[in-house]
Amino acid sequence: MPRFTEKIDQMTLPLIPLHDAVAFPAIPIDFETDDESAMAAVEAASSGGMLAVLAYIEDDNGDVPTEKDLASVGTLVRIRSSVKDKEKNSVRIICECRNRAQIVECYKNGKMFVANVICKDIALADNGGLRGEAYAREIREQLEEMVGFMNIPTSAVRLTAKNIKDPSLLCDFVASAVLVRADDKQKVLNVFDPFERAAVLITLMKEECLLLSCEKDIQKQTSDRVSRSQRDFFLREQMKVIEEELGEGNDPDDFTRKICDSKMPDELKDKLIKENERLMKTPYGSAEATVARNYLEEVLELPWGKRTKDRVSVEAAEKILNEDHDGLDKVKDRILEFLAVKQLNPELNNQIICLVGPPGTGKTSVAASVAHAMNRKYVRVSLGGVHDEADIRGHRKTYVASMPGRVIAAIKQAGVCNPLMLFDEIDKLTSDSRGDPASAMLEVLDPEQNKSFRDHFIEYPFDLSECFFITTANSLEGIPKPLLDRMEVIELNGYTRREKLAISKNHLIPKQLKRHGLTKRQLKISDEAVYGIIDGYTREAGVRNLERNIASLCRKSARKLLENPDEKKISVTDRNLSDFLGGQKLTTEKIYSEDLVGTVNGLAYTEVGGDLLRIEAAVMEGSGKLELTGSLGDVMKESAHAAYTWVRSAAAEYGINPDFYKTKDVHIHVPEGAVPKDGPSAGVTMVTALVSALSGRAVKRDLAMTGEVTITGRVLAIGGLREKTMAAYAAGIRTVLIPEENLMNLDEVDKEVRESLIFIPVKHVSQVLELALVPADEKKELAVKTGIENTIPAQTVIPEARV
């Protein structure tokens, strides 16, 4: 093993900071600096032995360096000469570098830095022996590889490196000569051990070789592309000359002629003419020419001044709407009102309607029907999942592959400037770092702003005021308030059984028969079979699943007709429906056969319509705990606590021990625990269940109720009355208790339901209990019934409802 000779000295010396340079032992260095601290250190060294320490500034951000910015290892130097330049206010220094110096402490003394350093001089005996020779040979090989990538004279470097035998000196020389980054040079200077230093240098040189190789490949590819582009340019120019000679080339004035013939504003014409002149001066195959040509084509394809004439006949429009859709009376009435006003005022524009309703209720299809009724072009823009503002406003034309936004693209697709434009799923807009498309829609749907809608690609205001905008959404919760404020909201409720039957007979069945190649003679589906599908195989507000089941009937019928040629006709009834669709997949909630204690029929409104919501209460000996189960939401839990509080306050009136909250545990459960439930409208139902369970009085099985309750017992209004009453009717309920504030909503209830159910308005929960709880004996029950009917004024209920 080779032996080391190590010499260590400690001293305090002036420190000269170096910008973008590293000094190595035994290698002279000269540099110029205008740093005040460096100039002060040079002056101090000149007056005391000419020794100093050079240290590389590792964190060089251009500011005045601090002690923390300096490297921990520097180089001990003797200043051979220093020349001041008064004009530049700088000093030129020539140094003789000696040893590596470990900077133990560095501090500011006046303007200059002073460092306490430990100077180490480690020499290898016999140049490191075999190991030293191996490192030296590897360094020279890496040097040969690196100089192959360099475009500078390297013969002197290679010759000098070949003649240096000491591996330590060879490392410092090669590092100072060929390493490019000052940080890499400092990594070599930081290592005192010669062998470790050689290993670090070899690693850095290999990384540098790999980097230089990549740079060479990139330069070659770039050069090839430039050559190819020049070749393509000459070929295209030759093609243009050949096409002109053959008379097959494009007319250079084609764009100009189209611009002049267009009905666009004069200001825009002038802009496009200038753009066309710029295009004619641009090389044919260049990126700029492609961008300009694409811009001109897109703008010229817009329907400037083209529009359709509205059908203003209200009678004709009503006939078309009724033929295309059953139900949807609110939408039809609103469109007919617009056409009536349009007939009186032809300048009426800026109609923006938002259709809100559950999936499958015909929001999208009714928009196409409205366009047909108004004799307007129909174009649909899907907004579901759009999260980039540029999708609405377009991209700047300067970007490669840029294009107009969806609004202008829809106008181009329609071919007229007054289409009916449907923005589908507007509640599904999202936002991210690329912008908020809902904010961009504010300008589109604002009657005061859309007269001059500016698309980023077109770069000119486009008038959208003549468009008829219809938007669709499943819920208003996802629509920002400023955007919602610009639209007239029309709610589409779920279809009733009777409406679904009419839709099936008039639209779905004929459509599926035609799609499957069947005729009405070959397949007949009875009304009872359709009702069977509605009740036993689908549970939805719309008719999508109903249509899928009808399609399944058509497929199975078509197969039967082909497999049995003798069978010419197939009839589907409620009796053989299961042969086609299998057993029933859903069961309809029905009332119990007897009155039960602690079980009450509530009513719920879901996204697929109404539902019968039973609430159960049980009382046990305990310490006054209230248990709530059934996947209840926060609002529903608060309703349960409000109901519990009212029952405590009125316990004595119903024969309940006032101290029950101390000695009884109460458990309220809402069945179908896997289904999340929330909302305040089950308050009266919970009060009734609690009073029934605590008093032991049963609740009438053919009675249902809905209403929010306060802790003082007042019954507040609820939503979804139409859907809730439909569920009550389907379950066999005879009487429904509703908040008195909801009497105004009874005209929205289906006519068949109004004629079949008894609606009783209530203001206080005590009325609910009097009506819902079974009396203690039959005589009292009859008296209560008679008293109830006499206490409800007939004029408070609409004529179709019975009280």
Give the residue numbers annotated as catalytic, written as ranges: 681, 724
Phi/psi zone of residue 624: left (φ > 0), alpha (ψ -120 to 50 degrees), beta?
A: left
**Which residues partner with 355 through β-bridges?**
472, 490
What 8-state DSSP symbol labels residue 69?
Answer: G
Proportion of the chain in helix, strand, coil states, percent, rounded to 5 = 45, 20, 35
Question: Among candidates 339, 254, 263, which has minimal Cα distance to 293?
Answer: 254
Residue type, 657: N
d(CA 143, CA 49): 38
10 Å CB burial of residue 543 (0-12, 13-18, 19+) is: buried
Residue type, 749: V
Confirm if 643 and 761 have CB atoms less than 8 A apart: no
Cα–Cα distances in Å, from 569 out to 512, 523, 525, 557, 575?
16, 6, 11, 9, 17
| DSSP β-ladder status, 703-705 and 599-606 | parallel
d(CA 569, CA 561): 8
Cα–Cα distances in Å, from 2 out to 167, 191, 331, 671, 702?
12, 18, 98, 88, 105
What 8-state DSSP symbol labels residue 379?
Answer: E
Confirm if 490 and 328 have CB atoms less than 8 A apart: no
d(CA 632, CA 139): 75
d(CA 228, CA 576): 74
d(CA 769, CA 774): 9
d(CA 464, CA 154): 70
Q: How many CB atoms lie within 10 A of CB 432?
A: 10
Q: What radius of gyration, in Å, describes the C-alpha atoms of the chain?
A: 44
Confirm if 659 and 651 have CB atoms less than 8 A apart: no
The residues, ordered by sequence, that sit 6+ positions from 685 with a Cβ below 8 Å of its Cβ are 600, 601, 602, 613, 615, 705, 706
- Structure-token pair, residue 797: 């209920």
Confirm if 688 and 774 have CB atoms less than 8 A apart: no
Confirm if 709 and 715 have CB atoms less than 8 A apart: yes
* Residue labelled with tokens 């007919």: 336
Helix (H, G, I), strand (E, B), or coil: what is residue 510?
helix
| DSSP β-ladder status, 351-356 and 453-454 | unpaired
* Residue labelled with tokens 């082909």: 562
d(CA 334, CA 353): 9
**Rounded to a whole number, what is the distance in angstroms from the first to the last CA of the chain?**
112
At residue 662, φ and ψ (nearest 5 deg) are -100, -30
The residues, ordered by sequence, that sit 6+ positions from 378 with a Cβ below 8 Å of its Cβ are 367, 368, 371, 372, 414, 419, 420, 422
How many angstroms from the chain centroid is the CA of residue 433?
10
Give the relative orientation of helices 363-374 and 329-344 as an angle to the nearest 10 degrees.
30
* Residue labelled with tokens 């709610």: 491
Question: Among candidates 444, 486, 481, which has minimal Cα distance to 461?
Answer: 444
d(CA 196, CA 187): 11
The residues, ordered by sequence, that sit 6+ positions from 576 with a Cβ below 8 Å of its Cβ are none
- Structure-token pair, residue 266: 């004069």
